[in-house]
Structure 1
Amino acid sequence: MMNLLYYHNMKKTFNYIASALIVATSLVGCTNLDETLYDQVASQNYYNTKSDVIRAVLRPFEHGYWSVQSRQVLNEETADQLITPTREDWWDDGGRWARLHRHQWLTTNGEAQSEYNGCFQGIMQANLVIEDLQNRSASRFGFTDTEFNNLKAQNRVLRAWFYIRLLDAFRNVPLAVSYYDTEKNSKGQVEPRKIYDFIESELKAVIPELTKKTSNGGNQNIQGQWTQAGAAALLVRLYLNAKVYIGEAHYNDCERVAQDILDGKYGSYSLADRWDAAFDWNNETCDEVIFAFPGSAGYSHWHYTGDMYWWSVPSRAKDWLKDTKNKQGDHNIKYSASPSYNPKGERYDFELGMPIARFKDYPSDVRLKKYKNLGNNKREGLFIYGKISYTDENGNPQYLKDHNGKYTLDLRDAVGRFGATDGDKWLASADSKLENGDDNSGWMFVKYPLYSDDETGQLEADYCEIRLPEVIYSLAECKLRKGDTAAAAKLLNSVRKRNYPSSDWSSALYQPEGTAQLNMKELLNEWGREFFAEGRRRIDLIRFDKFLSAWWDKPADADNHTLIFPFHRDIIGAAHGALKQNPGYHD
């Protein structure tokens, strides 16, 4: 129970915690684990009331929410589904996006520096709270032991979540478990197995201390809280990728925990009847959502930023969406789907990428509808393509134009300098690469709704970090890997049914409930459809042994060192020789 400020409305709490807590002000240097990283006055004078305790517990959560931006860039730009092509005079940025897509990052680029720093800052913030609460009693602040144990467990789960991200991105990282006594922290990297074991033991230890969701109607007053199911779902993530992390398969463990979640051992959850319910403005009422960071207009809503979902639409989209009064600034054309066609209109035959073509393998998919706000906080469709019509402020019909206002947009599933070329016409050359795109290059998308100024749901969606389909798909993968194709298909179909009209289930669902064929190649495609642009594509490719393969505008990697990222020289320098560069990269 944390029913005070946080569970009452964590959305509003986020806004003032960032400035209210002096305990966070000394954490900016926490990548150097040899330093004394705290202000002596921090915890001695801070904890006076029940509200003080709750605010302290929450502070690392706000940082964790903010930090997902760096993960989104690393896990999507380096993978096969999303791209940032040059848009004529925009979006070259010194070749950054091309380097990421082609796996040509260097130690001097610093592409992964923000992920490393962000995660360790969060870990040290969590360590501070964990140690502070260990030395305080529940009764002093008016908590029951159950309430206080839940509070203490929250940051232990959050810390484990940060460590999973570090294990995923870098493998070889330090283990920091104390804020006050840095002698307890490793002096340099530890082997991945030690990080893995720490994550596993922490999650197992705290699950009994966490709240268990026992009723339907979404997370509601426990939104933003790590619950038993949330911690168990992190174990599912850890076990599913164990072979990648430590070279040891743990699919049986993954299957066991995933099945327990589905059986209700850790709480009551169920699939929504539409694909977008878990991302909608009122997703705190959605029983599919296992863990989400609360977001709200006027407060924290970090997923509505440029590095995530604010810049996955045309640059002049505010004229169409009528969302000009918010404080997010203009939209931009950062993210598009990787192309299925060359500029001559000829379809590629890559095994990887081509996400729009993968959606179109099942053409009645409701997500293929062009995105549209229907009014009254409702929307339809996932993608933006073709010409985009709207009515201007004078009531005149218009079409969106490119960022320079030179031509009418006509988005297509290809990358090239199309300019004012009509969408039913193509170019003479098949040459296509990240450097020769424009505003028409690639379908765009709206994962979280972009409602208008007139709708109360604008920017109200919580950021859904874990939802039930992840558990279902993980279990299905475990079963498919051991040869139980029928059981895997049934699990996947339980989710996929909502994406197709029932009249098409015979062709859209996997055998034996339909005629579609399920194998490992198709499972990877299905992971890509269900979790499109959700910041996980890179690890899925790695787990399926496809991350090093070729796809559009990316040759096969020469070796496997790009499976993990390098440490920026500033990170190595701050460690005073205790941190070694990851294999395959120059110091």
Structure 2
Amino acid sequence: MIEDLSKLSPDKFGFSEEEFNNLKAQCRVLRAWFYIRLLDAFRNVPLAVSYNDVSLNSAGQVEPKKVFDFIESELKESIGLLSTKESLGGNGVNQGQWTKAGAAALLVRLYLNAEKYVGEDHYTDCETYAQDIVDGKYGAYQLAATWDAPFDWNNETCDEVIFGFSGAPGYSFWHYQGDTYWWTVPARARYYLNDAKAKAGDHNCKYAASPSYNLSGNLYDYTLGMPIQKFRKYPEDVRLKLYKNLGNNKREGLFLYGSLEYKDENGKTRKIQSPNSDYDLYIRDAVGQFHGIAADQWPESKTSNLTTGDHNSGWHFCKYPFYSDDDTEQMQSDYSEIRLAEVIYSLAECKFRKGQVDEAAKLLNSVRKRDYPQESWSRNLYAPEGQVQLTESELLDEWGREFFAESRRRIDLIRFGKFNTGSWWDKSADTDNHTEIFAITREVLNANHNLVQNPGYSK
């Protein structure tokens, strides 16, 4: 598309040169977004820059630095050609279009992880771009008043969303389909959510939060994982409320746990059951065989791993709302790919790494305030505005809370040096760090014999 647009004359289509340049720049930024994903996952990838002249593309992989430099230059060159969000009121009909702030935010991502990507410290560059975004240099954005607004049905009106992929019933709504958020709830959740007629079909039980408790009812002492316990560290967090549809396209809470009750067609109160309807669910922050025992009991078998859990195992989560069939805006949410909170947290981390802990704390608090009742801020905010001390481990935990289930935990753990060195439920620390990047799949290797398997994996 970039090459085709470069051959065409904008005036033949009723465009100005500026509008045409904006279209080409958006395509270049989208390509850069894909390359950041590739660099993050595989590091060693081919570099393709032309569809029409493949001789311009690498035959095999190139050094990560070459991909990094390509992404950086593409984003920097594109920023000046992109439009600016001039006023508050959300992205509106421009949702899904790359803007100056979107490109600058991708540079923030690239620079924040540069040490892991290419062995270079770019925290100063990260801080500069992040600060400029926060200061409004690249457009008008502001934090939402509530944690869930960036994910709600009308998030095209949310000024926290810098870039979102548009979604709506009857169009594209991949984040409401199988293998994504549609499968982060129990298989028969439709009875509790009243979304049996939703266009994405029935739910399935594929994802849940890793457990905090062992099968004797005691907290694990692992250094990694246990996300629910990290939320419970601040019990006044409004996200800990049981997820519930409130009617009129409103909801509360992030998690599903315990018994999920609903009224059947006869008005009788029932509980969500397993997919086979052979037991009522009581969802726990643990993994094991719990059916047939009371909610306050623990099973005799103490084996807890990925193969031993039943449908009671692991808290489920609703990052995007599952509104009922009675709500007019069911499945209308756009996918929030980049939001201002990420830029603020990136800026806070840069300041923390420079030893400016108080400045970092205040930035994090500007987001955290919405997660707790105002009367509890002194107990829940970071010093000097509250009583909580901001440490490196707490900063990493806070990244996990704010961006729970937003597909960035892996790189955050890698950046903090914890991904391979820490122990998890059902996984010990690694002997080396080769799994910081993924193996290249057999299908890809068979399709291009110029590719070489990533280090540490069987060829």
TM-score range, shorter chain: over 0.9
The AA in structure 2 aligned to 1:231 is A
Specify the alignment match of 2:325 in structure 1: 453
Specify the alignment match of 2:154 in structure 1: 282
- Select the residue among 377, 385, 401 that pairs with 1:513: 385
Specify the alignment match of 1:293 in structure 2: 165
Specify the alignment match of 1:544 in structure 2: 416
Kept after mapping to 2: 8 A contact 1:387/1:409:
yes
Specify the alignment match of 1:324 in structure 2: 196
2:27 counterpart of 1:158: no
Specify the alignment match of 1:395 in structure 2: 267
CA displacement at 1:355 relative to structure 2: 0.5
CA displacement at 1:515 relative to structure 2: 0.5
2:437 counterpart of 1:564: yes
2:427 counterpart of 1:554: yes
Q: Give the stretch that moved more between structures: 327-336 or 242-251.
A: 327-336
Give the secondary-structure state (helix, strand or coil) at the position aligned to 1:209: coil
Matches within 5 A, 1:570-581: 570-576=443-449, 578-581=450-453
The AA in structure 1 aligned to 2:29 is V
CA displacement at 1:155 relative to structure 2: 0.7
- Select the residue among 417, 424, 431 that pairs with 2:303: 431
Kept after mapping to 2: 8 A contact 1:409/1:420:
no
Kept after mapping to 2: 8 A contact 1:207/1:232:
yes
Matches within 5 A, 1:34-49: none
- Select the residue among 57, 66, 73 that pairs with 1:185: 57
Q: Give the stretch that moved more between structures: 345-354 or 267-276.
A: 345-354
- Select the residue among 396, 399, 402 that pairs with 1:527: 399
CA displacement at 1:396 relative to structure 2: 1.6
CA displacement at 1:319 relative to structure 2: 1.3
The AA in structure 2 aligned to 1:562 is T
Matches within 5 A, 1:399-418: 399-418=271-290
CA displacement at 1:426 relative to structure 2: 1.6
- Select the residue among 205, 208, 211 that pairs with 2:83: 211
Give the secondary-structure state (helix, strand or coil) at the position aligned to 1:390: strand
- TM-score between the two structures when normalised by the length of structure 1: 0.77
CA displacement at 1:473 relative to structure 2: 0.2
Give the secondary-structure state (helix, strand or coil) at the position aligned to 1:291: strand
Distance 2:177 2:423 in 1: 30
Give the secondary-structure state (helix, strand or coil) at the position aligned to 2:23: helix
The AA in structure 2 aligned to 1:419 is H
2:142 counterpart of 1:270: yes
Distance 1:429 1:397 in 2: 32
Distance 2:384 2:150 in 1: 28
Give the secondary-structure state (helix, strand or coil) at the position aligned to 1:566: coil
Matches within 5 A, 1:41-60: none
2:5 counterpart of 1:137: no
Give the secondary-structure state (helix, strand or coil) at the position aligned to 1:226: coil
CA displacement at 1:544 relative to structure 2: 0.6
The AA in structure 2 aligned to 1:553 is D
Distance 1:540 1:270 in 2: 24
Distance 2:299 2:76 in 1: 57
- Select the residue among 81, 103, 113 that pairs with 1:241: 113
Q: Give the stretch that moved more between structures: 290-299 or 430-439.
A: 430-439
The AA in structure 2 aligned to 1:568 is T
- What do residues 362-420 of structure 1 show as CA deviations (whole Å, max 9, x unaligned)? 00000000000000000000000000000112222111111111111000100000013
Kept after mapping to 2: 8 A contact 1:344/1:429:
no
Distance 1:429 1:344 in 2: 10
Q: Which has the higher helix share?
A: 1
Specify the alignment match of 1:116 in structure 2: none
CA displacement at 1:138 relative to structure 2: 1.1
The AA in structure 1 aligned to 2:36 is I
2:95 counterpart of 1:223: yes
Percent identical residues:
66
- Select the residue among 169, 174, 177 that pairs with 1:302: 174
Distance 1:496 1:436 in 2: 36
- What do residues 107-155 of structure 1 show as CA deviations (whole Å, max 9, x unaligned)? xxxxxxxxxxxxxxxxxxxxxx000001111111100111111111111
CA displacement at 1:429 relative to structure 2: 4.1
- Select the residue among 172, 177, 187 that pairs with 1:315: 187
- TM-score between the two structures when normalised by the length of structure 2: 0.99
Specify the alignment match of 1:369 in structure 2: 241
- What do residues 172-225 of structure 1 show as CA deviations (whole Å, max 9, x unaligned)? 000000000000001111000000000000000000111100111100021110
Specify the alignment match of 1:483 in structure 2: 355
Give the secondary-structure state (helix, strand or coil) at the position aligned to 1:480: helix
Specify the alignment match of 1:379 in structure 2: 251
Give the secondary-structure state (helix, strand or coil) at the position aligned to 2:164: strand
Q: Which runs of 5+ in 1 are unaligned?
A: 1-128
Q: Aligned Cα RMSD in Å?
A: 0.8
Distance 1:352 1:223 in 2: 36
Runs of 4 or more consecutive aligned structure 1 residues displaced over 4 Å after TM superposition: none
- What do residues 426-469 of structure 1 show as CA deviations (whole Å, max 9, x unaligned)? 22343211111000001101000000111111110000000000
- What do residues 330-383 of structure 1 show as CA deviations (whole Å, max 9, x unaligned)? 111111111000111011111211111000100000000000000000000000
Q: Give the stretch that moved more between structures: 426-435 or 509-518.
A: 426-435
Distance 1:230 1:307 in 2: 26
- Select the residue among 183, 201, 211 that pairs with 1:339: 211
Kept after mapping to 2: 8 A contact 1:411/1:423:
no
Give the secondary-structure state (helix, strand or coil) at the position aligned to 1:418: coil
Distance 1:447 1:235 in 2: 26
Kept after mapping to 2: 8 A contact 1:289/1:468:
yes
Distance 2:100 2:250 in 1: 31
CA displacement at 1:299 relative to structure 2: 1.3
- Select the residue among 43, 48, 68 that pairs with 1:171: 43
Give the secondary-structure state (helix, strand or coil) at the position aligned to 1:398: strand
The AA in structure 1 aligned to 2:310 is D
The AA in structure 2 aligned to 1:575 is N
Distance 2:335 2:191 in 1: 25
Give the secondary-structure state (helix, strand or coil) at the position aligned to 2:181: coil
